[in-house]
Structure 1
């Protein structure tokens, strides 16, 4: 072994030690691309949002997140079942394209705030959502639930409109609503 080899080995060891030190200090890694989140449900506008996201997605540099959101009020599991089927469909699609993704499943009473929390925790840059996504009642046969859902939408707005306001307020992530 000559002195050049020993020097290179020492440099490699120092690089590994510095990398381990940075990881142990809690430093996060820097990525070259963007973190892209697609909010998924069974609505047709989700397909359009996915197509829009794929126009600019770079599978070499970007990270893809797939988020499904269901209400904790879903006593008959209609929403949860639809969300699982939709997620399964899109997972198969991305698997066939060899695109890696991170699935996120959210269940909450306040879906909008839970989605915003996930966006912030995962440091998402771009969020794609269909304009009419997350807009259906979990159980339209339940008159009481349907009534309260309709009143809430009238007074507070839809989840999409809430995300639009939060995106403008936060400024760290951009929401792209696809009609």
Structure 2
């Protein structure tokens, strides 16, 4: 796939060692693994190949991929979220932790905490001290992707609307080219959206 191509990708992401499903764009796969989220709409990922929004190992594989073919491959931690870093596990007193989080009552082992703009997982409470792991949840994990490029967007106007919809999370944009001039008609919600 050429860098800069706008593609729709159906994929399933697994922990390669345990074969646990981490995420998917396909509802039937989520249901098979009892990971379906009520109310979620499952749909292909829309991305620009080579724009750096995906993990390095997946980006590299996409550059060699073709539309409408099934792929299955593993990505080592070094090409995903990195190895686990023991220095990213920090210990602090319960008093420091209580002052650092917005809702100390919601603290629980295994739960997410945000401290100083960093997200971590509360690992333990011992002797008045808390251990927080600031490694990415998938650090040190070999990932297995199964995917298929279901669509390559080639029409100029569709490329623009696809990018607008992907980056705003909304639809209803209309685009028209007249030569090299582009006219974009914004949906009404944009008038009221402060973002």
The TM-score bracket by the shorter chain reads under 0.3
- Which structure is higher in strand share? 2
TM-score (norm 1): 0.23
TM-score (norm 2): 0.22
- Which structure is higher in helix share? 1
